[in-house]
Chains A and B, each alone.
Chain A
Amino acid sequence: MSLLSVDRLTVSFGGLRALDEFSFSLSEGDFVGLIGPNGSGKTTFFNALTGIYKPQFGSVSVDGNDVTKASPQAMYEVGVTRTFQRLRLVPSLSVFDNLIVGSQRGLNTNLWWNIFKRAGLRKKVDEELSRCSDLLSQFNPRLVGTLLSPVSTLSMIDRRRIEVCRALISQPRILLLDEPSAGMTHEETRMLMEDLLTWKERSPSLAIVLIEHEMGVIDRVTNRCVVLNYGKKIAEGEYQIVSQDPLVKTAYLGEE
């Protein structure tokens, strides 16, 4: 049984079918690239998968359990987390605050406990602080020192790293990365991908779906890729093979 299976998923906005009968499956440990021209439905797919958009048709299941109409919160509970194309960190909050949100499942948010059990809270904060430092140091040791500074003091690439870490700290089973290289230089993208691959080696069962426009990156890090155009899947397979597909070439370069 596959970890994630998506069957003929359809999302439309008025008359526009942003995602058109899209089928897809993911097993543990997969690293899949999701490519396609702008507006081809890649982010829509992520939004539908994480419960932000409700699909009109089709189904999604994780471990065989149907989660088609699940809320974003429920998708988080089953272990699907994501990053966003436009960063969705809170710049005025500290790196720790931003990261720890990913750990929501493990936090006691009972009002009574938070107000009156301060010793327990303190112990938990210390535990989470060291968990965050561990994660940051595995990812990039330089970031550990910034744990209590506001995110607004960090550079773009570090913010991207923090967003990826926020998704990772929830110990996801499926990680959705929405164009993590947006707004970064080639060199920065390469560094971020290296960080990711290092992480992937340590937790081999994590499945990752990566939306990316730089084909070099897709070629290097993914073991399979899916091409979308006008909301439809037009090709799937290893990058080297898919990239030779005439349909894919047309979609990217236009008709000859």
Chain B
Amino acid sequence: MANFVKGHFLITILATIAGLFVYFFLHLERSWEIVLVVGLAVLTMVVSRRKNLIARAQETCLQKPKFSISVFFVAAVAIIFALRSEHFALLMLTTVLLYITVCFGLTAQFGFVGLVNFAGIAFFGIGAYTTAVLYQYAAIPDFLIILASGLVAAVIGSILILPILRTKGHYAALITIAFGVLFRTFLEVNDTLGGPQGLKVDGISVFGLSFNENINLGLLGTGSSYVTYSILALVLCLVTFVFVRRMENSWVGLNMDMVRHDEIAAASFGIHPPSWKILAFTLGNFFAGLAGSIYASMSGFIAPASFNFADSLVLVSIVLLGGLGNVFSVIPAAFLVVVLPEKLQLIQEYRLLIFGIVVILILRFKPSGIMPRGARRYYPSLGVKK
């Protein structure tokens, strides 16, 4: 009983600490304050790693997944409410949450079946453009528009998978790069889709509640319009997280790992590698499409320039930086990669340069990333000594 309570207590403390860090990271604006927060976070990580606290905390959370997820969800909602009147901070938070969602999909593709997708932002863009077009030409409920955007991304992805399945390794990566570049060029020359000027997108509205207007939060006063979007993004992120984690901790995840490591051994034991590649690729692009749809509604305007090949590289670098295949690791990595350059004006110009260096350093000195992937846990108490 005491242990039981202790576990819950520990998880709550963890969520509080993480929540405070994220809050200050988003809230503070001066460069030296940001450096201080990041420094403090790194210091906390290093000290707790020394004392083996990280592994223990991770273990505790893994044993109580439902409780941990609820607590972290509450912490995230608390952050959103605390930032309720700060447009820019919420915009960033929502963007990070959407990027995290895309990266969960990339983890399924790259981390599980081993298909590197350098067109992540293209599928995000397909979702965004589908949303813009549907708002203009079709009168269907908003949530169906989001769903349809995911589906369109998935369907276009399932056409792209055909040449990918016929190639191996680097060549498959080249195909995705080509697609990513092609996507942007196509948008720029296509007048129906607004050409280089892009398209205007209507905001989501549910039951008369327009997501693009400031909302009344009762006792908390008026909240920024981004409050609703960040909560929507949070829910999407959470659902994707649970989905990908469950997939990892199941026979599906096992088969995907076998396909990544050794297609010949996999085939010799009845596994059909192409089906798993198709599944992972389609799912990943579906998630990217969903995230893109919410992004489009939130921005109110989309243009080809928002979907650069460089952004795809950023997505892949988040996955690599965190720890390939580790679903959790995407979260801190995305915060660092997306928010830090925005906050530190100093490095913004050199953003890609710095990413390049960091990714090279990570690949050279810690190829498994900042949070390497753990063992598969088919259910929470697997392997726990009673």
The interface of chain A, by Cβ under 8 A from chain B, is 50-52, 71-73, 75-77, 81-82, 84, 88-90, 92-94, 97, 100-102, 104-105, 107-109, 111, 114-115, 118, 121-122, 125, 148, 150, 166, 170
Contact = CB atoms under 8 A, between A and B. Distances in A.
A84 B265 CA distance: 9
Give the size category of B's interface with A: 20 to 34
Given A71-B267, A90-B258, A108-B251, 19 more contacts: A52-B264, A72-B267, A75-B268, A77-B270, A81-B269, A82-B268, A88-B264, A90-B257, A93-B257, A97-B257, A100-B254, A104-B255, A104-B271, A109-B255, A111-B252, A111-B279, A125-B378, A125-B379, A150-B375
B379 A122 contact: yes
Contacts of A89: 265
Interface stretch (B27-35, B115-123, B242-250, B309-317): B242-250
B383 interface: yes
A76 B268 contact: yes
B6 interface: no
A101 B258 contact: yes
A102 B265 CA distance: 10
Interface of B: 243, 246-247, 250-252, 254-255, 257-258, 261-262, 264-272, 279, 375-376, 378-379, 382-383
B247 A114 contact: yes
Q: B243, B262, B265, B375 — which one has the most chain A CB atoms within 10 A of its CB? A: B265
Contact of A107 (B243, B251, B264, B279): B251
A121 B262 contact: no
Nearest to B267: A72
B262 A73 contact: no
Contact of A81 (B254, B268, B272, B375): B268
B378 A122 contact: yes
Nearest to A89: B265
16 contacts: A72-B268, A73-B267, A76-B270, A81-B269, A93-B254, A101-B271, A104-B269, A104-B271, A108-B251, A111-B252, A111-B279, A114-B247, A114-B251, A115-B243, A121-B251, A122-B378
Nearest to A104: B270
B55 to A, nearest CB: 15
Contact of B252 (A82, A109, A118): A109
Given A77-B270, A81-B268, A148 B247 contact: no
A88 B271 CA distance: 14
Contacts of B376: 93-94, 97
Nearest to A125: B378
A72 to B, nearest CB: 4
Given A77-B270, A150-B375, A125 B382 contact: yes
Most buried by A among B246, B264, B375, B378: B378
B266 A101 contact: yes
